Amino acid sequence: MHFTVIKNDVSCSARTGILHLPHGDVKTPVFMPVGTNGTVKALTVEDIKEIGFNLILSNTYHLYLRPGEKIIEQAKGLHSFMNWDRNILTDSGGFQIFSLSALRKITSKGVWFQSHVDGSKHFLTPEKAVSIQVLLNSDIQMQLDYCSHWGASRKEAEKALNITIEWLGRAVNAWEEAAVKDLYNGCLFSIVQGNFFHDLRERSAEVCANSGTPGIAIGGLSVGEPSELFYEMLATTTALLPVNKPRYVMGIGTPEYVLNAIEHGIDMFDCVLLTREARNGRVYTRNGTYSLKKAENASDFSPIDKECGCKVCRSYSRAYLRHLFKTKEILYSMLASYHNLYFINELVINARNAIEEGRFLEYKKNFLSQYKNEDALSGMRSQE
């Protein structure tokens, strides 16, 4: 992987760039739709391409359990398996293991966990996480990390960080060996942890910067903390990272969080929130979010968003979409998910254009002044 910074905004740390990846170039900042199980729920790969995405996220933990990495290896990789000829980033499964705290035991050697699918027991090491992602043929793979929970004590946070640092060294060795042995072209990203302790974050950022990984992710945020603390920790952590490597903040998707991240120089982000909310009746517009299932939409024949140019807003009314939702038609989830992903992609494209023109802060201010902040969701990270 090679990363090129194209333009820095003069008024803040926002920037545009290009990720040169095995399955094509990706312009940054970039939002990645989440396809946990090798699919973005309710959408085809043709839909995702039509919206304009060149990079999606899938999850190693889930694909390891079902259908299993050997099946995907027989299919000649995840790209072929899911008929997607563009780039894929795979999360190592560290966050899923974090969220399944009752079903796992973490040691410095690795993590024992019980499958949420069938109760079977598994042992995942940083080396195994790398090898699985090599079999998936991930364009970007993430190191296995240990995410400590919001409100954790300093002792807990320091223990988790020490394990994450040890795992990083082992992951780098496994990745470099795979690149030589298996002619693997994908790259590895390290992950900054340290909970909400500034000195631990600083230590972690330094280790990641010196690890030699082509990119660096910021983990352990958007896990229940107040938004003000998220903004503060994101800004201070990003400032510690090298400017010549892509920066990825994991698990954010609302306009407020995305625009704040871009302002501080973040290049990549992902979240399931937009597609999950779509399936549950909530859609995003330039005037905020609202619930399509409300009775007031029953006879509203206007589009979801009059300012949106997506095919859903050009062709279908709020009344029709509400009808589909109420009758539990599959088409509803397809159309609402398409719209919400189109919305976030357009927001990021417009942000990139504003950076190129040196007016990002103006764009952010104008967008958020129109967007109904009181209706915005928290952007908390979760999984499909």
Distance CA 245, CA 270 (A): 18
Active site annotation includes 270: yes
For residue 360, the surrounding DSSP H or E stretch is helix 360-370
Sheet holding 111-114, edge to edge: 104-106, 111-114, 121-124
HEC states along 200-251? HHHHHHHHHHHCCCCEEEECCCCCCCCHHHHHHHHHHHHCCCCCCCCEEECC
Which one is catalytic: 9, 91, 145, 267? 91
For residue 277, the surrounding DSSP H or E stretch is helix 273-279
For residue 326, the surrounding DSSP H or E stretch is helix 318-326
Distance CA 46, CA 51 (A): 9
Which one is catalytic: 47, 145, 267, 270? 270
Structure tokens at 195: 């909970």
Structure tokens at 167: 């795992």
> How many alpha carbons lie under 13 Å from residue 367 in its C-beta half-sphere?
23
For residue 268, the surrounding DSSP H or E stretch is strand 268-270
Measured from the Cβ of residue 156, the count of other Cβ atoms closer than 10 Å reads 13
Q: Chain-centre distance of CA 135, in angstroms? A: 21
- The label of the residue with tokens 């966990």 reads 113
- The label of the residue with tokens 């503060």 reads 232
Active site annotation includes 300: no
- The label of the residue with tokens 């007016």 reads 359
Query: Which are the catalytic amino acids?
Result: 91, 270
